[in-house]
Structure 1
Amino acid sequence: MFQLSTEPPEFTQRPVDQNIVEGHSAFFSCDANGEPLPSISWTKDGQPVTNQRRHTVNPSGTTLSIMRVQPSDAGVYACVAAIGASNRQVTARLTV
């Protein structure tokens, strides 16, 4: 019988703080292991980040790209790795 792990995901790559000049691009990378593989999502200042014109998340969720950074993009970005109800997050700050 298959049993879901009760262990939270473990991060294998964490995003790092960035100081980006307005108009340039920012990239945050994050990855995690677990059984089964965790799903990865991103938040900015506690709000979900969705694919928009300048904000894109790759299909696996491991990279968040912000094109043509603007002052409104500054804030704390969190990578959230989840396995069922068990999740962990790590954060990085974007300064513009």
Structure 2
Amino acid sequence: MLIHVPEISQRMLTLDLRALEQASLVRRTVFAEVPVKVEYQLTQDGERLRPVVEVMREFGLWLKSRPQCEPDAPQPATVKAMHAVPSSLDD
């Protein structure tokens, strides 16, 4: 799995997989081999989430491909409007 997600550390991957297992989204199988072999498989609930995760993945890839730019600086009219809020709303 580290091959498919090279930016994640072994520790973070382990923590994420444990959380998914506790949420019953993946099933963990440990094989009595040396070295120990562990496999993860989506549960039925995990499979139900597959389309949602795929759409989120596609959105993330799209977002990552967009050029980065600086956020717009507040315009003077915006700053004035922010300071014009009645004090009764500040509480």
TM-score normalised by length of structure 2:
0.24
Larger helix proportion of the pair: 2
Larger strand proportion of the pair: 1
